[in-house]
Amino acid sequence: CNFLHHQNGKLDIFQILIYWICLTFTQTAAKLLSTDMRLQSIRDSFFELLFSDLPLLIEGDIALDSEAERNADPCTSRGCLWRKNTDGKVYIPYYITNHFCEEKSIITRGLESFSSFSCIRFRPSRSNDHEWLNIESQNGCWSYVGRRGGKQVVSLARRGCLYHGTVQHELLHALGFNHEQTRSDRDNHIKVLLQNVHNFRKIATLNQGTSYDYNSVMQYHKYAFSKNNQPTMVPIPNANVSFGNAKEMSRTDIARLNTLYKCCE
């Protein structure tokens, strides 16, 4: 009360008013900050839950279970082939989840295409199967390389992945194939422009005695993973060669598949 009876009473009341406004603003800001922090916590928890089951992805669509696999080709570091039956065929069980509706026909067409040019036979899974491809619509298009055992996810997102060539591409990963631009001899056929892209790893791939194939369904286009909208790969010696536009498996893709799985023996 004495504070209000100072000689300059008007100034004291004004100071109190300012103090009250500042106090109210501070308390309100604290509440807003607390709310924002709670929202951020909820948002973080949501994304953690949303992506917690996703594997580590390299090169855009190759799934790994751990960092230890990053610099190894599973088909050279361990056995990755699917087993061949006594009749000479390789039967691979698959299950298409209910994520898909009419798009199933695109997936089925891709699965069935292998039987027309190889000994690979994709068949619907059964209750007694111990390993199978679980085809799901997760975030993006991706697959593990080679047989992993048990439930093995192949992701074909409903938005952006349901094309015949893309289905074949991811299935070839599951059969044990890497990207064309990671071949051990790739530097003889393409120049990777490191200033425009994070480095494409080069690994000891199983090339099956075949030449580099610009028309392979496993070859990415010239702007793949560009960080500045500039080309990331240029063919050599002829920079004008078209590549990375395959709509389906090439003859070389088919030849490699048949060689890897000894389909002609």
Q: How far apart are CA 150 and CA 141, in angstroms?
A: 20
Q: How confident is the model at residue 12 (pLDDT cuts 50, 70, 90)?
A: low
Q: Rounded to two decimals, what is the model's pTM?
A: 0.76
What tokens were used for 37? 């922090």
- Give the pLDDT of residue 65: 74
CATH 3.40.390.10 is the classification of domain 56-175: yes
Q: Is 130 part of any known ligand binding site?
A: no
Q: What is the pLDDT of residues 37-79, one digit of tens each?
A: 444 443 443 343 344 467 888 888 888 876 556 555 556 555 7
Q: Is 169 part of any known ligand binding site?
A: yes
Q: How confident is the model at residue 7 (pLDDT cuts 50, 70, 90)?
A: very low
170 given a catalytic annotation: yes
Q: What is the pLDDT of residues 202-234, one digit of tens each?
A: 777 778 889 999 999 999 999 998 889 999 999
Q: What is the pLDDT of residues 106-115, one digit of tens each?
A: 999 999 999 9
| Structural domain spans, the chain | 9-51, 56-175
CB half-sphere exposure, 265, CA atoms < 13 A: 10
What residue type is assigned to position 126 of the chain?
Answer: R
Using only C-alpha atoms, the chain has a radius of gyration, in whole angstroms, of 28
- Give the pLDDT of residue 85: 96
Give the DSSP letter string of the chain: -GGGGSSSHHHHHHHHHHHHHHHHHHHHHHHHHHHHHHHHHHHHHHHHHHHTTPPEEETTTEEESSGGGTT--HHHHS--PPPPPTTS-EEEEEEE-TT-STTHHHHHHHHHHGGGTSSEEEEE--TT-SEEEEEE--SSEEE-SS--SEEEEEEE-TTT--SHHHHHHHHHHHHT---GGGSTTGGGTEEE-GGGSSPPP------TTPPP-TT-TTPPPTTTT-SSSS-SEEESS-TT---S--SS--HHHHHHHHHHTTTT-
* Selected catalytic residue, list 69, 170, 180, 265: 170
Q: Is 6 part of any known ligand binding site?
A: no
